[in-house]
Copies of this chain bind each other. A is one copy, B any other.
Amino acid sequence: MNKGRVTIPTDDNFIKETLEIAEKWGADGIRDCDGFKLPREIKGLAERIYSTYFVARGDNEWAEANREELQQTYLMTKHHVAVENKLTIKIMDGYFAEQVEPDTYHDIKTWWEVIDRTTNEVVPTENWTYSEESGEVTINNVSKWHEYTVSFLAYCIWDPTQMYNHITNNWGDKPHEMPFDARKPKTNKHIIEAMYNWLDEHPESNVVRFTTFFYHFTLVFNDLAKEKFVDWFGYSSSVSPEALDEFEKVKGYRLRPEDIIDQGYYNSPFRVPSKAFLDYIDFQQQFVAENVKKLVDVVHEAGREAMMFLGDNWIGTEPYGKYFESIGLDGVVGSVGGGATLRMISDIPGVKYTEGRFLPYFFPDTFYEGNDPTIEARDNWITARRAIMRKPVDRIGYGGYLSLAYKFPKFVEYIESVCDEFREIYDNIDNSKPYCGLKVGVLNCFGKLRSWQTHMVAHALWYKQIYTYLGIIESLSGMSLDVEFISFDDIKQNGVPSDIDVIINAGDAGTSFSGGEKWLDKEIVTTLRGWIYNGGGFVGVGEPSAVLEGGHFFQLAEALGVDKELGFSLSTDKYFKTPVEKHFITEDVVEPFDFGESQKNVYSKSKDTEIICYENGDLLMSANRYGKGRAVYIAGLPYSIQNTRILMRSCFYAAGKEDEMKKWYADNLNCEVSAYLETKKYAVVNNSNEEQTTLVYDGNGNSVQMTLDPCEIKWINMV
């Protein structure tokens, strides 16, 4: 039996058992984890020894000596209403003084901004003062009953990840790690030197696992030491006067604090991004890539591999960004929450390998007496496996305390089967591309840059406003379709790529994912209308193409055959409410529809719209012809096996390729087929925990009946 492609953590005084597990799971990699340091004698005990390395924290001596080179962040106070002609705002109200402190080292009149949020006007600097002693900004000559905010630059005096771990685990008086800024001149030099030193001092490892580089995603705590603001994509904590001055030189114009503050939304990925913000992230990505490359070069000089953890201080190294490949990293490792996060890792271009860290983490919250950690492991594996079938990561791994997992023999045995199954899949696919029935483009404001990362707030966390759309990405991650992420700007500049069969646009009105004001761009909207009319397929979920203009709310209302009633057209009678008796899209449906948060007040515009689901006065699913093309509307698609099938059928229907769906296809919606034409193998997977019987169709549409055990994967050689 083959071995390798698996990384395991180790533990204090646990070398013998570590090797025992490594043997059992076929692990060829051992990593340190959570504060535990690898012993020197680990060297050579596995092919691959990973050591965690922090670039911009963990050296408080340096940080203390160069406090003006600490990382910085932009913060906004809450809104304060002026009740007299003077207004005083305590700027740190609601912030955590152990995490951030106002920067008065740099000129506050240059770097801070007081804004009248009722008029959107900046208050002249001569009209406000700041008292360091009281921590208050006093604004004079305010307009009564207007609301004001202060945007201020602050120093980050505690790395957010260490802060989180410190507070969560009650680390008491353990020092707070202060993050220093690679853009500041002394620190930039220091970081390189520290890298050399560290490599010298750590001969035992041959893989440097960067956790991570320069800037943490935005994670700000409140005055109760709890999370106040989290944005896994946030660039707010990558700012500094140096960065903003340099930005002006590079991009030819100056950013205002407000370009980062964004009314307190801080350029959340749900905002349609401004040009200034897009320029800023481009600018930071370029800087980070150039400087991370220097570190990677040092690692390579030392004959080691350089690996990046996808998270924490990853800002600027977005792996689908245009500078990422130039860094020259060997690998990327990330946490796998399901299919979408797996594809986010496995599709990363320009690295030699990718690695997924699977769940559960070997921590006492899961590994306690009486609990069966196998359940979480199986759920995690089965959802991720769908995506692995389409594009595998090159390695899998686990994290936490191995000594904990060791006490659960059933779990150890289950993971052994997972590792074997993973290697079997990997070998059978053998780097070939599986058969794809269609190519789908997911259209939003970020396109390729945020491949597999739409509708996300904090990494893999559930939010009420996102699960309805995340389901689409999760479904797609394991579907036998080709998937590309495209932006409105791509469409504007280059039109719709010629190989796209179906465009999916999903999200709440006004968000970057639905597109908001992008739909007012006549080049974009006409390009898409024309593309659909000429035979393209469009699947809109939630409030696709939504922005009120020209008598429509959905700008593709005529193509979709539906629009949403905001009240303005209530006077127009809505007659079309009767669903079709059956429809291609819902032929496999076995349980009640689940539209998640769903939509209200969507209605059919004409008798020609094929209404597929209509409940309580709301149209929830429909299809429509538009010239030679077709458009499908769905009110929401949280992830489920049934919704995955509904989405797949929607795509084939929209593309007008219903006849081609039953190739490498299983009619039982609990099963999926992936076919690898190059390696002449195909696999049928059972995504459920029950036995399933299904017709399995080959590439010519011939079918044969099969029965699969719970979660089974069957490999078959093509004839």
Contact = CB atoms under 8 A, between A and B. Distances in A.
Interface of A: 79, 81, 83, 117-120, 143-147, 149, 218, 222, 226-231, 234, 263-266, 268, 270-271, 457, 463-466, 507-511, 522, 525-527, 529-530, 533, 548-552, 557-558, 565-573, 575, 597, 600-601, 617, 627
Contacts of A508: 566-567
Contact of A227 (B265, B268, B573): B573
Given A533-B81, A551-B117, A265 B597 contact: no
B570 A466 contact: yes
A81 B531 CA distance: 13
Contact of A270 (B227, B510, B530, B568): B568
A607 B263 CA distance: 21
Contact of A558 (B147, B465, B617): B147
B597 A600 contact: yes
A22 to B, nearest CB: 40
Number of copies: 2
Contacts of A145: 525-527, 529-530, 533
A186 to B, nearest CB: 32
A328 B97 CA distance: 72
Contacts of A522: 118-119, 146
Nearest to A550: B117
Given A79-B558, A83-B533, A271 B568 contact: yes
B600 A548 contact: no
Contacts of A230: 571, 573
A575 B266 contact: no
Given A117-B551, A263-B551, A529-B145, A229 B571 contact: yes
Residue of A120, A227, A264, A571 contacting most chain B CB atoms (<10 Å): A571
Given A145-B533, A463-B570, A226 B551 contact: no
Most B CB within 10 A of own CB, among A228, A525, A572: A572
**Interface-centre pick from A228, A264, A548 (highest chain B CB count, 10 A):** A264
Q: Which 5 A-B pairs have the closest CB atoms?
A: A145-B526, A263-B551, A117-B550, A270-B567, A145-B530
A16 B509 CA distance: 66
A525 B118 contact: yes
Contact of A457 (B571, B597, B600, B601): B571
B567 A465 contact: yes
Contacts of A83: 533, 627
A473 B566 CA distance: 21
A226 B558 contact: no
A88 to B, nearest CB: 16
Contacts of A466: 570
Contacts of A510: 548, 566-568
A204 to B, nearest CB: 40
B568 A265 contact: yes
A147 B556 CA distance: 10
Contacts of A149: 551
Given A229-B573, A268-B568, 20 more contacts: A79-B557, A81-B558, A117-B550, A143-B526, A144-B526, A145-B525, A145-B526, A145-B529, A228-B573, A229-B572, A230-B571, A263-B551, A264-B572, A265-B568, A268-B569, A271-B568, A465-B567, A465-B570, A508-B566, A510-B548
A263 B550 contact: yes
B551 A79 contact: yes
A36 to B, nearest CB: 31
A572 B228 contact: yes
A601 B268 contact: no
A530 B601 CA distance: 36
Contacts of A530: 144-145
Contacts of A568: 265, 268, 270-271, 510-511
Contacts of A571: 218, 229-231, 234, 265-266, 268, 457
A200 to B, nearest CB: 41
Contacts of A550: 79, 117-118, 120, 147, 263
A548 to B, nearest CB: 7
Contacts of A234: 571
Contacts of A120: 549-550
A577 to B, nearest CB: 12
Nearest to A115: B550
Contacts of A144: 526, 530
Nearest to A236: B571
A520 B196 CA distance: 58
A132 B97 CA distance: 77
A601 B226 contact: no
Contact of A526 (B79, B146, B228, B548): B146
A4 to B, nearest CB: 40
B226 A575 contact: yes
Contacts of A265: 551, 568-569, 571
Contacts of A464: 601, 617
A98 B230 CA distance: 62
A218 to B, nearest CB: 7
Nearest to A227: B573
Most buried by B among A550, A565, A570: A570
B465 A565 contact: yes
A222 B552 CA distance: 20
Nearest to A510: B566
A262 to B, nearest CB: 9
A162 to B, nearest CB: 20
Contacts of A146: 522, 526
